[in-house]
Amino acid sequence: METKRLNKAISETGYCSRRGADKLIEAGEVKVNGQLPELGTKVTAADVISINGKIITKEVENIYLAFNKPVGVTCTTERHIEGNIIDYINYPERIFPIGRLDKPSEGLIFMTNDGDIVNKILRSKNSHQKEYVVTVSRRITDNFIYDMSNGVPILDTVTEKCVVKRINDTTFNIILTQGLNRQIRRMCDYLGYQVNTLQRVRIMNISLDGIKKGEYRSFTEKELSEINELIKDSSKTF
């Protein structure tokens, strides 16, 4: 769990400045989990901070973002990895990605601080559609469309049937409900095609439309309500 200096954590609640927080700490007016801290103490989101007996720990509302990930950004919360998605977005609150989109790919990924919705989305099946636009290295044949649609043997299994449509000679659209590792790239490779570009354009009921590359927007109330309806029968992960 990410740590930060106590004075910074206090200032982020809007209670006072960092300098003011230091004075309160020195005066013995601040406690962390009921104990007097030292200057320089580091805390996490799980720690309870109180000033003169009043808890001032910041309550953060649930955050739901649709982010247009550029190529080269890695979907990891590990900050030591160069190009990680957390540092790239630089959101003021702690968030994490729902699922993954590999480094050479681009497009839509959800970011949130709500672990419950993450578990439900990842465990949901047919309601968790993911739509992609893919360009490949050579002309797409009818056999390629048929094979991609009806199942390809990868990773010791056969991919589930899915919807695949040709857009032009080298570009196709595919809708998946599976989430195998690098699934589309592996499917294409098995059939003798190299993926040149891969963009996710939709997850469930939310599309990439209107979100510029490298930018994000919050879910609308309608979108969030629709997602909750889609995943209402999905059990939690404990």
Query: Could you give the residue numbers annotated as active site?
Result: 102
Query: DSSP letters of 111-123?
Result: EES-HHHHHHHHH
**Residue 167 host element (H or E):** strand 163-168
Within 10 angstroms of residue 133's Cβ, the number of other Cβ atoms is 17
CA distance 152 to 184: 10
- CA nearest to 50, candidates 15, 92, 23, 20: 15
Q: Is 9 helix (H, G, I), strand (E, B) or coil?
A: helix
Q: Helix, strand, coil shares of the chain as percentages rounded to 5? A: 25, 30, 45
CB 45 within 8 A of CB 63: no
Q: What are phi and psi of 223, to 5 degrees?
A: -60, -45
CB 24 within 8 A of CB 10: yes
CB 94 within 8 A of CB 45: yes
